[in-house]
Structure 1
Amino acid sequence: MVSAIYSIFLLITCSILISSTNGVILPGNYTLPKFSPNLCFAARFDLVINIEYLKIDGKTNISRIPLNNQTFQYYDGDCLSSNRHRLTIGMLDNLTTITFQFKLNEKNQTSLTEVFGAITIKNTDYFPNCSDNIKGLHAFMGNESLFLTDRNNSYRCNTKTKIDNLKIMNNNITIKSIDLENLRIQPFINDKIIWNDYATEKVCTMDIFKSSTWIPIVVGICLAVLVIVILVVYLVRRRRYRNGYQSV
């Protein structure tokens, strides 16, 4: 009886340890400072990294790495500067990191200005049959100008935003894009007061276009113009045909 209880205890302990090394539960929001009611930064979003890499057979393959409970490890960041805030996310056993840097400009507007980090490539489920000469740690970086809004506002964009101008040194690896979706972000929050919720949102253009009542109107106008063009062409051709017939 004792040995059975001891075996069950070991099984449960091993299961907990295995699950803890495979990933950590995603936070609902990425907030800084962590575990504080007075925030300087808050964000939530879905993320996918798309990487093209060289395989052993000389062909290329594209790996899609989503940010989920299996890949997420930690997040951290800082608001040490009055005009620069950073969020860093660790993935894949802490061997891959992505840092998003936000800045405040002279017009008191915030935006995402830089994305940088490092990706570790090895023969795993995400990089099957990868070439030996691409294994290891690879740094990447890129300058951006995204999610521009006033400091006192938040920014929302449910539509996918592709960050695709990232540079990496190894020619056999290409970061095709980092995709952000279902995004709500407020990079600069007044940390003198307790944070309750995101401030008034600025909505991205694509979200406005998708939800706009103008879409059926624009489609209707386009169809009407098309009908008019066809009718004009028909009348012009008919007139030419009549003129040609009369001359005969």
Structure 2
Amino acid sequence: MTQHSRKQPLAMGFIALLVVTLHQSFAATDAPPTVTPPAPPARPERGSYNVTNGNGTTCLMAQMGLQLNVSINSATMINATVIKTLWILNLQPNLTRSSGSCDSESATLWLSTDENKTNLTFLFSMNATSSKFYLSGVSLNATRPDTQVSESNHSLDYLRGTLGRSYMCREEQTLAVTSDFSVNTFQLQVQPFNLTGDQFGTAEECQLDEDDMLIPIIVGGALAVLVLVVLVAYLIGRKRSHAGYQTI
């Protein structure tokens, strides 16, 4: 009788351990795979890219750091849904070739690199009526081991500036090209028309830069008002203190 009572707890413990093990196994099988997004690369290096026309005159100048962001369909699927992975590529100026073309109403900058056979095109257009230029089109073609990337949009309106001047944006700026492709620019300055030699015209700064400069002005103004209020309060208090003295 005593021998039977010793075996029963041992059997119950074994069954409980088996149930816990099977539960963990099924839970691990049913759980969806974890997709870890890639760590973003470092800030891209700023490069200089010029375009010359047939007589050797510079017709487009651009200085900027470029980061390409492309959403790519992944082979991984969760609940029959295709998962997109974000591919981020920084263009390295020392490995990037630049060329292009200019005419009276448009200017094109072509950038190519052997890394992923990347070809990036910027198309600038001119509005003679308003004397403005703007980025009207961006195209990307690149080859990865797992897929071919091809994105383009020629109905854009970015980097708008005045003819004879350059457009500048020191802050990071995101240019959405398509639903799956965007370009981040860093320390950008560009002028596609009416260049004088190899020098940029007077810069017109983007709203992001103006907002960035406005914040310290507002903070400085608020501090100045605060100091003035404290000073006035101190003078008033000192005057009242002197007024309360009695002459002996």
Once the 2 structures are TM-superposed, how far is the Cα of residue 117 of structure 1 from its aligned partner?
A: 2.9
Q: 1:187 & 1:166 partners in 2: Cα distance?
A: 23
Question: 2:218 — aligned with what?
Answer: 215
Q: 1:136 aligns with which of 126, 148, 167?
A: 148
Question: 2:184 — aligned with what?
Answer: 179
**Aligned CA-pair RMSD:** 3.0
Q: 2:116 & 2:72 partners in 1: Cα distance?
A: 20
Once the 2 structures are TM-superposed, how far is the Cα of residue 207 of structure 1 from its aligned partner?
A: 0.6
Contact 1:100–1:112 under 8 Å retained in 2:
yes
Which AA in structure 2 matches 1:216?
V
Q: 2:130 aligns with which of 96, 99, 107?
A: 107
Alpha carbons of structure 1 residues 144 and 217: separation in structure 2 relative to 1, 3 Å: farther
Q: 1:198 & 1:73 partners in 2: Cα distance?
A: 22
Question: 1:29 — aligned with what?
Answer: 48
Question: 1:227 — aligned with what?
Answer: none
Residue by residue, what CA displacement relative to the aligned partner does 1:26-56 show, whole Å, maximum 9, x if unpaired?
A: 8952111189862111111001011122233
Question: 1:39 — aligned with what?
Answer: 58
Q: 2:219 & 2:159 partners in 1: Cα distance?
A: 28
Per the alignment, in what secondary structure is the counterpart of residue 76 of structure 2? coil
Q: 1:219 & 1:97 partners in 2: Cα distance?
A: 49
Alpha carbons of structure 1 residues 64 and 94: separation in structure 2 relative to 1, 3 Å: closer
Question: 2:238 — aligned with what?
Answer: none
1:151-190 → structure 2 map (5 Å cutoff): 151-166=163-178, 174-175=180-181, 177-190=182-195
Contact 1:91–1:97 under 8 Å retained in 2:
yes
* Structure 1, unaligned runs of 5 or more: 1-25, 124-134, 168-173, 221-248
Q: 1:150 & 1:138 partners in 2: Cα distance?
A: 31
Contact 2:152–2:177 under 8 Å retained in 1:
no
Q: 1:61 & 1:94 partners in 2: Cα distance?
A: 17
Alpha carbons of structure 1 residues 97 and 196: separation in structure 2 relative to 1, 3 Å: closer
Residue by residue, what CA displacement relative to the aligned partner does 1:38-79 show, whole Å, maximum 9, x if unpaired?
A: 211111100101112223333432111001157x43111100
Which AA in structure 1 matches 2:201?
A
Residue by residue, what CA displacement relative to the aligned partner does 1:222-245 show, whole Å, maximum 9, x if unpaired?
A: xxxxxxxxxxxxxxxxxxxxxxxx
Residue 62 (1) aligns with residue 80 (2) = no
Give the TM-score of the pair, scaled to structure 2: 0.61
Question: 2:200 — aligned with what?
Answer: 198
Once the 2 structures are TM-superposed, how far is the Cα of residue 120 of structure 1 from its aligned partner?
A: 2.0
Q: 2:192 & 2:55 partners in 1: Cα distance?
A: 16
Contact 1:142–1:166 under 8 Å retained in 2:
no
Once the 2 structures are TM-superposed, how far is the Cα of residue 87 of structure 1 from its aligned partner?
A: 0.4
Q: Give % identity.
A: 19
Contact 1:39–1:189 under 8 Å retained in 2:
no
Alpha carbons of structure 1 residues 184 and 122: separation in structure 2 relative to 1, 3 Å: same
Once the 2 structures are TM-superposed, how far is the Cα of residue 122 of structure 1 from its aligned partner?
A: 1.9
Q: 1:66 & 1:103 partners in 2: Cα distance?
A: 25
Structure of higher CA gyration radius = 2
Q: 2:55 & 2:218 partners in 1: Cα distance?
A: 44
Q: 1:67 & 1:157 partners in 2: Cα distance?
A: 18
Which AA in structure 1 matches 2:183?
I
Once the 2 structures are TM-superposed, how far is the Cα of residue 165 of structure 1 from its aligned partner?
A: 3.7
Residue by residue, what CA displacement relative to the aligned partner does 1:141-173 show, whole Å, maximum 9, x if unpaired?
A: 252212222111111101111111415xxxxxx
